[in-house]
């Protein structure tokens, strides 16, 4: 469903070039859970940005459902991300003056009664059914991240990209967040790509790819 061929992303500083991603090829099957692991600076987040269309590669190709990203305009890539992808980051990026359910609705493509009902259902699934109207500052860090997970899932994405989603959480809450994402993979049929430095967060993955110096090492 999602594939990359010989991807490369370079950063230039003065006369030097840093290869954030260096000739990487991979495929993500529909409904699979793929983990990207490696130390800081290994290129795992940069690879995720390329696969999700948040950055364009210097070389190589990425395609989703046989659509090459190079054939899409900036607006076309934005529509693809908006309609087909979900994102969870290390920071929750919630809007402080909106309630939990309103924050989830921010991620919806269509905002109607059915979507609102689904947003509430997602919050109940993540254990926040009694906090639908709470503002982010009234929630714990773990609860905020669960709202962010619900927001990423509300439009039923084909792929969820999670970049260090548990880095600011304790071990137990981190497992809870990853399990919520993995549960969507099982029940909603979406694929899951998780970037992390913590191998304990990838115990349920179908594949774990180790990155080092911009390349997939194992």
- Phi/psi of residue 119, each to 5°? -60, -45
At 132, list the tokens. Answer: 């639908």
Checking if the pLDDT of 169 tops 80, the result is yes
Checking if the pLDDT of 178 tops 90, the result is no
Q: What is the pLDDT of residue 90?
A: 85
Q: How confident is the model at residue 91 (pLDDT cuts 50, 70, 90)?
A: confident
Q: How confident is the model at residue 167 (pLDDT cuts 50, 70, 90)?
A: confident
Q: Which domains does the chain have, with CATH numbers?
A: 2-63+74-216 (3.40.50.300)
Determine which of 139-148, 167-176, 206-215 has the lowest per-residue pLDDT on average.
167-176
Q: What is the mean pLDDT of the chain?
A: 91
Closest CA to 210 of 82, 35, 71: 35
Q: How confident is the model at residue 41 (pLDDT cuts 50, 70, 90)?
A: confident
Q: How does 150-176 read in b/e, with b if 16+ C-beta sit within 10 Å?
A: bbbbbbbbbbbbbbbbbeebeeebbbb
* Geometric angle at alpha carbon 201, from 170 and 63, rounded to 5°: 130
**Cα-only R_g, the chain:** 17
Checking if the pLDDT of 25 tops 90, the result is yes
């Amino acid at each position: 469903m999602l594939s990359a061929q010989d991807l490369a992303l370079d950063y230039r500083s003065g006369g030097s070039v840093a290869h954030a991603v260096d000739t990487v090829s991979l495929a993500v099957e529909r409904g699979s859970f793929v983990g990207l692991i490696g130390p800081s600076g290994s290129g795992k987040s940069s690879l995720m940005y390329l696969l999700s269309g948040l950055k364009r590669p210097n070389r190589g190709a990425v395609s989703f459902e046989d659509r090459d990203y190079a054939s899409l305009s900036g607006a076309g890539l934005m529509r693809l991300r908006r309609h087909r992808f979900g994102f969870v980051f290390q920071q929750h990026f919630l809007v402080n003056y909106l309630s939990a359910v309103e924050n989830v609705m921010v991620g919806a493509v269509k905002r109607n009664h059915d979507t609102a009902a689904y947003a509430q259902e997602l919050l109940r699934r993540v254990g926040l059914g009694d906090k639908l109207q709470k503002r982010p500052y009234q929630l714990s860090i773990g609860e905020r991240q669960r709202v962010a997970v619900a927001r990423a899932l509300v439009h039923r994405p084909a792929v969820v990209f999670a970049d260090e989603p548990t880095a600011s959480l304790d071990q137990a809450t981190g497992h809870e967040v990853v399990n919520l994402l993995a549960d969507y993979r099982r029940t909603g049929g979406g694929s899951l790509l998780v970037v992390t430095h913590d191998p304990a967060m990838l115990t349920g993955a179908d594949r774990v790819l180790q990155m080092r110096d911009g390349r997939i090492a194992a």
